[in-house]
Amino acid sequence: MSMDRNWYVITGGPSSGKTTVLNELAKLGYIVYPEAARVFIDQEMAKGKSLKEIRSDEAEFQRKVLKIKIEVEKTAPKNKIVFFDRAIPDSIAYYQICGLNPKEVLQFCQKKAYRKIFLFEKLSFDQDYARVEDSKTIEKLNALLRKSYKNLGYEVIKIPAVPIKERVKKILSEID
Protein backbone atom coordinates (compact mmCIF):
# COMPACT_ATOMS: atom_id res chain seq x y z
CA MET A 1 0.00 0.00 0.00
CA SER A 2 1.51 3.31 -1.03
CA MET A 3 1.21 6.46 1.02
CA ASP A 4 -1.65 7.82 -1.05
CA ARG A 5 -3.73 8.29 2.08
CA ASN A 6 -3.57 11.37 4.20
CA TRP A 7 -4.92 9.62 7.28
CA TYR A 8 -3.93 10.22 10.91
CA VAL A 9 -4.97 8.29 13.99
CA ILE A 10 -5.57 9.71 17.43
CA THR A 11 -5.43 6.92 19.96
CA GLY A 12 -4.92 6.36 23.67
CA GLY A 13 -6.87 4.97 26.57
CA PRO A 14 -10.28 6.24 27.64
CA SER A 15 -10.27 9.72 29.15
CA SER A 16 -7.12 10.86 27.36
CA GLY A 17 -8.86 13.80 25.66
CA LYS A 18 -9.14 12.32 22.16
CA THR A 19 -12.71 13.46 21.52
CA THR A 20 -12.05 16.99 22.79
CA VAL A 21 -9.04 17.41 20.49
CA LEU A 22 -10.92 15.87 17.54
CA ASN A 23 -13.76 18.35 18.11
CA GLU A 24 -11.18 21.17 17.91
CA LEU A 25 -9.74 19.73 14.69
CA ALA A 26 -13.26 19.51 13.23
CA LYS A 27 -13.83 23.19 14.11
CA LEU A 28 -10.67 23.95 12.12
CA GLY A 29 -12.28 22.26 9.10
CA TYR A 30 -10.60 18.85 9.21
CA ILE A 31 -12.51 15.65 8.52
CA VAL A 32 -12.78 13.64 11.72
CA TYR A 33 -14.35 10.24 12.36
CA PRO A 34 -15.69 9.53 15.84
CA GLU A 35 -14.77 6.46 17.85
CA ALA A 36 -16.59 3.40 16.49
CA ALA A 37 -17.32 2.01 19.98
CA ARG A 38 -19.08 5.22 21.00
CA VAL A 39 -21.04 5.33 17.72
CA PHE A 40 -22.19 1.76 18.32
CA ILE A 41 -23.05 2.39 22.00
CA ASP A 42 -25.05 5.50 21.07
CA GLN A 43 -26.96 3.59 18.35
CA GLU A 44 -27.81 0.77 20.75
CA MET A 45 -28.79 3.16 23.57
CA ALA A 46 -31.10 4.95 21.13
CA LYS A 47 -32.86 1.56 20.77
CA GLY A 48 -33.36 1.51 24.54
CA LYS A 49 -30.51 -0.79 25.55
CA SER A 50 -28.39 -0.15 28.65
CA LEU A 51 -24.58 -0.09 28.57
CA LYS A 52 -24.62 -3.31 30.59
CA GLU A 53 -26.76 -5.01 27.92
CA ILE A 54 -24.63 -3.63 25.08
CA ARG A 55 -21.40 -4.86 26.65
CA SER A 56 -22.75 -8.08 28.20
CA ASP A 57 -20.77 -10.10 25.66
CA GLU A 58 -17.47 -8.19 25.38
CA ALA A 59 -16.15 -10.39 22.55
CA GLU A 60 -19.27 -9.76 20.47
CA PHE A 61 -19.07 -6.04 21.31
CA GLN A 62 -15.45 -5.84 20.10
CA ARG A 63 -16.33 -7.67 16.86
CA LYS A 64 -19.16 -5.22 16.13
CA VAL A 65 -16.85 -2.25 16.82
CA LEU A 66 -14.22 -3.70 14.45
CA LYS A 67 -16.88 -4.11 11.75
CA ILE A 68 -17.83 -0.41 12.06
CA LYS A 69 -14.14 0.64 11.79
CA ILE A 70 -13.70 -1.46 8.64
CA GLU A 71 -16.80 0.10 7.02
CA VAL A 72 -15.73 3.63 8.00
CA GLU A 73 -12.24 3.19 6.57
CA LYS A 74 -13.68 1.83 3.31
CA THR A 75 -15.62 5.04 2.78
CA ALA A 76 -13.20 7.66 4.17
CA PRO A 77 -11.71 9.99 1.53
CA LYS A 78 -8.16 8.95 0.70
CA ASN A 79 -7.01 12.25 -0.78
CA LYS A 80 -7.97 14.51 2.12
CA ILE A 81 -6.51 14.92 5.59
CA VAL A 82 -8.58 12.69 7.85
CA PHE A 83 -8.34 12.13 11.59
CA PHE A 84 -9.69 8.93 13.14
CA ASP A 85 -10.63 8.60 16.80
CA ARG A 86 -9.03 5.15 16.94
CA ALA A 87 -8.52 2.97 13.87
CA ILE A 88 -8.59 -0.71 12.98
CA PRO A 89 -5.26 -1.55 14.76
CA ASP A 90 -6.73 -0.30 18.06
CA SER A 91 -8.88 -3.42 18.00
CA ILE A 92 -5.72 -5.55 18.37
CA ALA A 93 -5.23 -4.08 21.86
CA TYR A 94 -8.91 -4.36 22.78
CA TYR A 95 -9.04 -7.98 21.60
CA GLN A 96 -6.01 -8.75 23.78
CA ILE A 97 -7.54 -7.00 26.81
CA CYS A 98 -10.66 -9.17 26.59
CA GLY A 99 -8.81 -12.41 25.78
CA LEU A 100 -9.66 -12.70 22.09
CA ASN A 101 -7.16 -13.72 19.43
CA PRO A 102 -6.10 -10.56 17.56
CA LYS A 103 -5.47 -12.58 14.35
CA GLU A 104 -9.07 -11.77 13.48
CA VAL A 105 -8.10 -8.06 13.40
CA LEU A 106 -4.70 -8.43 11.72
CA GLN A 107 -6.22 -9.51 8.40
CA PHE A 108 -7.80 -6.04 8.15
CA CYS A 109 -4.66 -4.10 9.12
CA GLN A 110 -2.94 -2.68 6.08
CA LYS A 111 0.63 -1.52 6.12
CA LYS A 112 0.97 2.21 5.61
CA ALA A 113 -2.76 2.93 5.82
CA TYR A 114 -2.07 5.89 8.13
CA ARG A 115 0.60 8.59 7.96
CA LYS A 116 1.09 9.03 11.69
CA ILE A 117 -0.26 7.71 14.96
CA PHE A 118 -0.75 10.10 17.87
CA LEU A 119 -0.88 8.33 21.22
CA PHE A 120 -2.47 10.52 23.88
CA GLU A 121 -1.12 10.27 27.40
CA LYS A 122 -3.70 9.79 30.11
CA LEU A 123 -5.41 12.81 31.64
CA SER A 124 -7.06 12.60 35.04
CA PHE A 125 -9.79 9.97 34.65
CA ASP A 126 -13.23 11.23 33.76
CA GLN A 127 -15.90 8.57 34.16
CA ASP A 128 -18.71 8.85 31.65
CA TYR A 129 -21.61 6.75 30.38
CA ALA A 130 -19.60 4.78 27.81
CA ARG A 131 -16.47 3.94 29.83
CA VAL A 132 -15.94 0.71 31.70
CA GLU A 133 -12.16 0.67 32.16
CA ASP A 134 -10.28 1.39 35.41
CA SER A 135 -6.91 3.19 35.50
CA LYS A 136 -4.85 -0.04 35.65
CA THR A 137 -6.63 -1.33 32.52
CA ILE A 138 -6.06 2.03 30.80
CA GLU A 139 -2.29 1.82 31.44
CA LYS A 140 -2.19 -1.72 30.06
CA LEU A 141 -4.30 -0.61 27.11
CA ASN A 142 -1.96 2.30 26.30
CA ALA A 143 1.02 -0.06 26.25
CA LEU A 144 -0.86 -2.51 24.00
CA LEU A 145 -2.04 0.27 21.67
CA ARG A 146 1.54 1.52 21.26
CA LYS A 147 2.79 -2.04 20.63
CA SER A 148 -0.03 -2.79 18.13
CA TYR A 149 0.92 0.15 15.93
CA LYS A 150 4.70 -0.29 16.37
CA ASN A 151 4.43 -3.96 15.34
CA LEU A 152 2.67 -2.83 12.16
CA GLY A 153 5.59 -0.52 11.40
CA TYR A 154 4.09 2.80 12.44
CA GLU A 155 5.84 5.63 14.17
CA VAL A 156 3.89 6.39 17.34
CA ILE A 157 4.08 10.01 18.47
CA LYS A 158 3.31 10.56 22.14
CA ILE A 159 1.09 13.53 22.87
CA PRO A 160 1.62 14.62 26.48
CA ALA A 161 -1.18 15.56 28.88
CA VAL A 162 -0.97 19.28 28.12
CA PRO A 163 -3.79 21.77 27.43
CA ILE A 164 -5.96 21.12 24.35
CA LYS A 165 -4.59 24.03 22.29
CA GLU A 166 -1.03 22.72 22.78
CA ARG A 167 -2.08 19.22 21.78
CA VAL A 168 -3.77 20.50 18.62
CA LYS A 169 -0.70 22.61 17.78
CA LYS A 170 1.62 19.62 18.25
CA ILE A 171 -0.54 17.43 15.99
CA LEU A 172 -0.81 20.06 13.27
CA SER A 173 2.97 20.58 13.36
CA GLU A 174 3.40 16.85 12.57
CA ILE A 175 1.14 16.80 9.51
CA ASP A 176 2.93 16.41 6.19
Lowest-pLDDT range of 6-10, 64-68, 107-111:
107-111
pTM for this predicted structure = 0.89
136/38 Cα distance (integer angstroms): 21
How far apart CA 137 and CA 134 sit, in angstroms, is: 5
| In the chain, where the domains are located | 7-173
Residue 170, φ and ψ in degrees, nearest 5 = -60, -45
Tell me: pLDDT of 2 over 90: no
Q: What is the CATH number of domain 7-173?
A: 3.40.50.300
Residue 58 near residue 102, CB atoms below 8 Å: no
- Supply the pLDDT for residue 132: 55
Q: How far apart are CA 84 and CA 86, in angstroms?
A: 5
Strand partners, 11: 119
